[in-house]
């Protein structure tokens, strides 16, 4: 009996190594373990074994059963792996490029806009948006710009025909529509819309009637900030902008406030910076933004009490910042959308 068991195991060892197909495997498994299989036949003979030998025989049967099952499992595993291998075909070449890996990309102007927004979100500013078609009130009157200020000239600002009306851009009175020349218009709308305190940045597209060249574009983008609260000081303005430029240009950036003139701020400054580590900027002072303390007349125009509220405002060109940060020397490249250019900022 033990001999027979040993023989079955030996035979099975040889047989399973020959099994290559699943059908052969199933047939052999039936021949061995099926109702009429050789091992099943032996197992049935346990009744004929003397009672005292039965425990030992039972133990042998179990051992053999385990051995056989293991042999079959190994054989089945081999077959399954072979099946998978034949289904997959030859090994792939992972060095080939994936057509899906071709990256989508955000335009560099969007990236700079987002970086600036993020810098100001950190200190509690929120993004405000407004229309690109605006009116003289929001673009000039409310910003303390005199009626015959050159910026209002047909030479410098794009206007829309006098009789044209816009459904979803409210006028203040019956004033004329134009293309906004700065995003300060958003500040006026925000202040008319909500009471102080206020802390907004308004990124967006602006228009000036400039002949296009390497540094001028008929449309361009700005980001402007407005902070209104009680007791806001020049020192606060400087602290905010220092933080902004350190974040944007690195700790080695040096800035200076140069007194300047804007109708809507008093005092007004232009900010210059230099930073040795930025390409194409070097150690010369480069103008980067305009800023100042909100002129009391602007507060009056929007119904804020200038005796109670004070604030600062600043604005910069997104193209200009992008040109400085990336070393781009022609503003028109931003509007060509050559993929070799766009992918450099992925």
Partner 1 sequence: MKVSLQWLRRHIDLNSSSKEIEEALTLIGFEVEGVEETGLPTLNKVIVGEVLSSEPHPNADRLSVCEVLINQEDESRKIVCGASNYSVGDRIPVALSGAVLPGNFKIKKSKLRGVESDGMMCSARELQLGEDHEGLLILQDRPAVGTPINEVFPYRDTVFDIEVTPNRPDCLSHIGVARELAARFGLAVEYPQIKVNPQAFSTGELPPLLNKVEVDATENCPHYRAYCIRGVKIGPSPMWMQQLLKAAGLRPINNVVDATNFVLLELGQPLHAFDASKIRGGKLIIRPAGQGEEIVTLDDRKRTLTSSMTVIADAERALVIAGIMGSIDAEVDENTTDIVLEAAYFKPSNIRWTSRRLGLVSDSSYRFARGVDAKGSEYSALRAIDTILEVAGGELSGPPFMVGEPPLMEREIEIGPRFIRDKLGFDVEESQISDVFTALGFDVNLRERTGGSRYWSVGIPSYRLDLERPIDLVEEFLRIYGTDKIPTARVSTPGLVQKDDAVDVFKRKASAYLCGRHFNECVSYSMRSTEEIGQWYSHAAASSLRLANPLASDQSHLRPSLFPGLLDSLRLNLNRGNAPRRLFEIGNVWREWDGRIWELYSVAFLMLKESTGGQWIERQPPDFFHVAGVVRNLLRLAGDDSGDVPFAPIDHEDSWQEGQAGAIGDFKTGWQGKAGMMNLFLLKQWDIEGTVLGGVVYLLPSFLRNSSKRKTYRPISQYPPIIKDLALVVEENLMADDVRRELENVAVEAAGGAFGVESVGVFDVYRGKGLPEGKKSLAFSLVFRSMERTLTDAEVNLAFETIQKAIAASGYAVRE
Q: Which of residues 243-272 bind partner 1 (CB under 8 A)?
A: 243, 256-261, 266-270
Q: Which of 82, 123, 214, 308 binds partner 1 (CB under 8 A)?
A: 123
The span from the CA of 108 to the CA of 339, in Å, is 12
Residue 243 CB, nearest approach to partner 1 (Å): 5
Give the count of beta carbons closer than 10 Å to the beta carbon of residue 51. Answer: 6
* Shortest reach from residue 185's CB to partner 1, in Å: 13
Q: In the complex, what is the shortest distance from the CB of residue 306 to partner 1, in angstroms, rounded to a whole number?
A: 9
Question: Of 132, 171, 175, 302, which one interacts with partner 1 (CB under 8 A)?
Answer: 132
Report the C-alpha gap between 144 and 137 in whole angstroms. 10
330 in contact with partner 1 (CB under 8 A): no
Based on the shown chain and the rule CB under 8 A, indicate whether residue 154 belongs to the binding site for partner 1: yes
Q: Is 283 in the site for partner 1 (CB under 8 A)?
A: no
Angle at 114 between CA 111 and CA 118, to 5 degrees: 140
Stretch that binds partner 1, among 7-15, 39-47, 74-82, 126-134 (CB under 8 A): 126-134
Distance CA 218, CA 209 (A): 6
The distance of closest approach from Cβ of residue 216 to partner 1 in the complex, given in angstroms and rounded to an integer, is 11
Rounded distance between C-alpha atoms, residue 246 and residue 271, angstroms: 13
**Binding status of residue 14 toward partner 1 by CB under 8 A:** no
Contact predicate 227/208, CB 8 Å? no
| Residue pair 133/179 in contact by the 8 Å Cβ criterion | yes
User: Which CA distances in Å does 253 have to 39, 109, 315?
Assistant: 86, 21, 19
- Return all residues near 294 (Cβ < 8 A) that are at least 6 apart: 226, 228, 264, 265, 310, 311, 312, 313
Q: Which is nearer to partner 1, 137 or 269 (CB)?
A: 269
Q: With binding defined as CB under 8 A, does residue 335 bind partner 1?
A: yes
The answer to whether residue 311 forms part of the interface with partner 1 (CB under 8 A) is no
Query: Is the CB of 32 or the CB of 290 nearer to partner 1?
Result: 290
11 vs 242 by CB, closer to partner 1: 242
- Binding to partner 1 by residue 81, rule CB under 8 A? no
Distance of alpha carbon 29 from alpha carbon 76, whole angstroms: 10
Site for partner 1 in 219-248 (CB under 8 A): 219, 227, 229, 231, 233-236, 238-240, 242-243
By CB under 8 A, the count of residues binding partner 1 is 88
d(CA 113, CA 198): 20
Interacting positions 33-52 with partner 1 (CB under 8 A): none
Pick the piece of the chain touching partner 1 (CB under 8 A) from 33-41, 58-66, 67-75, 148-156: 148-156
Within 169-198, which residues bind partner 1 (CB under 8 A)?
169, 179, 197-198
* C-alpha distance across the termini of the chain, in Å: 76
């Amino acid at each position: 009996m033990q001999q027979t068991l040993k023989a079955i195991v030996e035979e099975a060892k040889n047989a399973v190594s020959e099994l290559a197909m699943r059908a052969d495997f199933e047939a052999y498994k039936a021949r061995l373990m099926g109702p009429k299989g050789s091992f099943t036949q032996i197992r049935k003979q346990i009744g004929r074994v003397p009672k005292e030998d039965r425990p030992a025989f039972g133990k042998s049967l179990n051992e053999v059963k385990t051995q056989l099952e293991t042999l079959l499992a190994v054989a089945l595993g081999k077959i399954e792996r072979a099946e998978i291998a034949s289904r997959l075909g030859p090994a792939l070449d992972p060095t080939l490029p994936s057509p899906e890996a071709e990256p989508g990309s955000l335009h560099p102007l969007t990236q700079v806009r987002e970086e600036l927004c993020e810098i100001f979100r950190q200190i509690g500013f929120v993004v405000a948006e407004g229309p690109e078609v605006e009116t003289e009130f929001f673009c000039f009157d409310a910003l303390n710009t005199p009626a015959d200020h050159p910026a209002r000239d047909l030479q410098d600002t794009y206007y829309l025909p006098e009789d044209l009306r816009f459904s979803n851009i409210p006028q203040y009175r019956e004033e004329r529509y134009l293309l906004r020349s700065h995003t300060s218009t958003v500040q006026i709308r925000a202040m008319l819309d909500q009471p102080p305190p206020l802390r907004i940045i308004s990124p967006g597209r602006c228009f000036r009637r400039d002949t296009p060249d390497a540094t001028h574009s008929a449309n361009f983008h700005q980001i402007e900030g407005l902070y209104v609260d009680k007791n806001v000081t020049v020192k606060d303005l400087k602290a905010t902008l220092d933080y902004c430029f350190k974040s944007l240009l690195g700790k080695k950036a040096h800035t200076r406030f140069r007194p300047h003139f804007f109708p809507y701020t008093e005092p007004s400054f232009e900010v210059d910076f230099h930073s040795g580590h930025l390409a194409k900027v070097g150690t010369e002072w480069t103008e980067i933004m305009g800023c100042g303390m909100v002129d009391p007349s602007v507060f009056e125009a929007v119904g804020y009490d200038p005796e109670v509220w004070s604030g600062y405002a600043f604005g910069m060109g997104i193209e200009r910042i992008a040109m400085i940060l990336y070393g781009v020397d022609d503003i028109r490249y931003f509007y060509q959308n050559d993929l070799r250019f766009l992918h450099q900022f992925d």
